[in-house]
Amino acid sequence: MKPTLRQQPVQAMAMTPQLLQSIRLLQLSSLELEQELREALERNVLLETVDDSESGEDETEATSGADQICAHGMLAGASVTADLDGSGRDSWWGGESRDEDDAPWEARIAEPAVQDARLAAIEQLKLIVTTPREARLVTVILEAIDDNGYLEQPLDGIARESGLDPLPGLAEVEAALQKVQSVEPTGFGARDLRECLLLQIHALPPATRGRALAERIVSTCLDRLANREFDGICTALGVDRMDLHDAVELILSLNPKPGAAMAVAAEAALPDVVVSGVPGAWKIELNAERLPRVRINRLYERLLAGASERTLRDQLQEARWLVRGVEMRNETLLRTARAIFERQQGFLERGEEGMAPLTLREIADAIGMHESTVCRVTTNKWAQTPWGIYELKAFFPSQIMGADSETSGTAVKAMIRRIVDAENASHPLCDGEIAAILARHGVHVARRTVAKYREAMGIPPAKERCARVARRRLRLVG
């Protein structure tokens, strides 16, 4: 056989450097884009930042027509707004601005839940502290408790800092500390890890499996347990490995940092999109206040107009690609956010209970792009809404399978949370009763679906909620 050479036309998509850069910029979060632009400013002399004092300057100065738009019409970091207030021809509308009782829409926004263990303790102590002297001692004790829930100061120091006359004795301070330790979270106000674990063990029902042995281990063998000396514990306490296993499992289920359980972890969630206004007149804009505002240096661009220096011309091309890439990122993000909130008007009006099921394909079809592009532009992007800051990915909840109406899983979770919060604490609702309440509101889901969402939100079953209320009442009475 002789080797032959044949030509055949083939259609293929070539990934140009500009396209690759645009795709990469779409995936970056606000903080990552900020870092990217700062690095570009350091390595490319043709890029410069725009100060606020320069933002009002006349920007019609001669540059190339295409670069005039890239460098000045859509500055990296400039605010980009979608006119959704009814004045533009492409406006869209939400619901009414007031509810049935003619109450302002803002009044329906729930107050944020208490996330500090000290504040939660104060609310409970108000019910059991009866005298100003005792209130003063309790206040000093709370101030001496660290973020993990441990009392850092000895009792005699608390007595001195109280400033009471006469100076309280240790028995009086101990009684005040016991009241602090009687509130939730259990173990709050302990002086060390041993006391913290013992408080939690004592709060368990007496019939709890392994409770008695767990108390003995924590009281006498906590150091051995930390070093995993299980044989030594069995010998010292005269128990077998099976009983030890149950007790250790119980101890491991306790919370060694009860104060930190209510703390909210700090997250760098800088909103990329800001949704403001009222139902009937929503406004969506890009929030890029933290990003450096960059443009191509006009003087250097004019000097390079007829130059043949390869390095500088490459830098000019790179600067044009970067500014254009940021512009495309802003335009795509704004179009995507607008399409999302056009379909999530229920969320803007009622919160998570109004969130409708949504897919990436729906948004991709609406903005004329591929699903992968929508996926990239919504990853690590956040929106500031009247109900708080949410990741854009959160607005793509799945539809409840088998439901009579188009209800999302996020909406059902919010409904379950509201029903549980409003239930009679003495007679908590079981999953079947919650499903029946949802059905009366037109949301038909199975009991097992309610159980799945309840567990996902960390809500214990009805029996455990009832037992928790009973234990709390016993501690307050005691």
pLDDT band of 427, cuts 50, 70, 90: confident
pLDDT digits (tens, 9 = 90+) for 250-270: 998 898 888 876 554 445 567
User: 81-85, 160-164, 285-289, 298-302: lowest mean pLDDT where?
Assistant: 81-85
pLDDT digits (tens, 9 = 90+) for 377-425: 888 888 888 888 888 888 888 776 544 556 777 888 888 888 988 888 7
Determine if the peptide bond prior to 166 is cis (ω within 30°).
yes
pLDDT band of 102, cuts 50, 70, 90: very low
pLDDT band of 316, cuts 50, 70, 90: confident
**For the chain, how many structural domains are there in total?**
3
pLDDT band of 108, cuts 50, 70, 90: very low
Q: Is residue 134 part of a domain?
A: yes
How many beta carbons lie within 10 A of that of residue 157, not counting itself? 13
User: 335-339, 362-366, 372-376: lowest mean pLDDT where?
Assistant: 372-376
Q: What is residue 399's DSSP assignment? A: B
Q: Is residue 250 part of a domain?
A: yes
Looking at the structure, tell me whether residues 155 and 234 fall in a common domain: yes
pLDDT digits (tens, 9 = 90+) for 438-448: 888 778 888 88
CA-CA distance, 100 to 177, in Å (whole number)? 48
Both tokens of 263, joined, read 């703390």
pLDDT digits (tens, 9 = 90+) for 205-227: 888 888 999 999 999 999 888 88
User: 48-52, 216-220, 276-280, 434-438: lowest mean pLDDT where?
Assistant: 48-52
Which is higher by pLDDT, 170 or 110? Answer: 170
Q: What is the pLDDT of residue 98?
A: 37
- The whole-number average pLDDT for the span 91-113 is 37
Both tokens of 301, joined, read 């661009």
Is residue 138 within 8 A of residue 180, CB to CB? The reply is yes
- The whole-number average pLDDT for the span 366-371 is 88
Q: Is residue 180 part of a domain?
A: yes
CA-CA distance, 99 to 348, in Å (whole number)? 14
pLDDT digits (tens, 9 = 90+) for 326-352: 888 888 899 999 999 988 888 888 888
User: 114-123, 356-365, 391-400: lowest mean pLDDT where?
Assistant: 114-123
- The whole-number average pLDDT for the span 182-201 is 91
Model pTM? 0.51
Q: What is the pLDDT of residue 212?
A: 92
Is residue 263 within 8 A of residue 116, CB to CB? The reply is yes
In DSSP notation, 209-239 reads TTHHHHHHHHHH-HHHHHTT-HHHHHHHHT-
Q: Is residue 322 part of a domain?
A: yes
CATH number of the domain that 466 lies in?
1.10.10.60
| Highest mean pLDDT out of 38-42, 115-119, 227-231 | 227-231
| Per-chain mean pLDDT for the chain | 76
Q: Is residue 198 part of a domain?
A: yes
Q: Find residue 283's DSSP bridge partners.
A: 276
Looking at the structure, tell me whether residues 340 and 207 fall in a common domain: no
pLDDT higher than threshold 90 for residue 3: no
CA-CA distance, 188 to 195, in Å (whole number)? 10
pLDDT higher than threshold 90 for residue 298: no
Q: What is the pLDDT of residue 90?
A: 33
Looking at the structure, tell me whether residues 317 and 373 fall in a common domain: yes
Looking at the structure, tell me whether residues 225 and 309 fall in a common domain: no
Task: Give the residue numbers spanning the domain of 30.
Answer: 19-53+77-83+268-395
Q: What is the pLDDT of residue 77?
A: 36
Q: What are phi and psi of 362, to 5 degrees?
A: -60, -45
Which is higher by pLDDT, 280 or 243? Answer: 243
Looking at the structure, tell me whether residues 236 and 289 fall in a common domain: no
Q: What is the pLDDT of residue 307?
A: 62
Which is higher by pLDDT, 341 or 471? Answer: 341
Looking at the structure, tell me whether residues 257 and 123 fall in a common domain: yes
Q: Is residue 5 part of a domain?
A: no
Looking at the structure, tell me whether residues 144 and 222 fall in a common domain: yes
How many beta carbons lie within 10 A of that of residue 373, not counting itself? 19
pLDDT higher than threshold 50 for residue 244: yes
3-class DSSP state for residue 151?
strand
| Highest mean pLDDT out of 6-10, 51-55, 253-257 | 253-257
Q: DSSP 3-state helix, strand, coil percentages of the chain (rounded to 5)? A: 50, 10, 40
- The whole-number average pLDDT for the span 188-200 is 92
> Above pLDDT 70, what percent of the chain?
76
CA nearest neighbour of 241 among 213, 211, 207: 213
Looking at the structure, tell me whether residues 441 and 365 fall in a common domain: no
For the chain, the maximum distance between any two Cα atoms, rounded to a whole number of angstroms, is 112
Q: Is residue 277 part of a domain?
A: yes
- The whole-number average pLDDT for the span 58-85 is 37
Q: Is residue 1 part of a domain?
A: no
Q: What is the pLDDT of residue 66?
A: 32
From 208, 229, 262, the end of a domain falls on 262
Looking at the structure, tell me whether residues 373 and 421 fall in a common domain: no
How many beta carbons lie within 10 A of that of residue 97, not counting itself? 14
Is residue 295 within 8 A of residue 77, CB to CB? The reply is no
CA-CA distance, 372 to 360, in Å (whole number)? 8
| Cα 316 to Cα 34, 295, 304, distances in angstroms | 20, 11, 8
CA nearest neighbour of 21 among 411, 390, 317: 317
From 234, 262, 290, the end of a domain falls on 262
Which is higher by pLDDT, 218 or 30? Answer: 218
Looking at the structure, tell me whether residues 467 and 354 fall in a common domain: no
pLDDT higher than threshold 50 for residue 123: yes
Looking at the structure, tell me whether residues 367 and 429 fall in a common domain: no
CA nearest neighbour of 92 among 345, 266, 317: 345
From 242, 262, 282, the end of a domain falls on 262
Q: Which helix (H) or strand (E) holds 323?
A: helix 310-343
Looking at the structure, tell me whether residues 123 and 247 fall in a common domain: yes
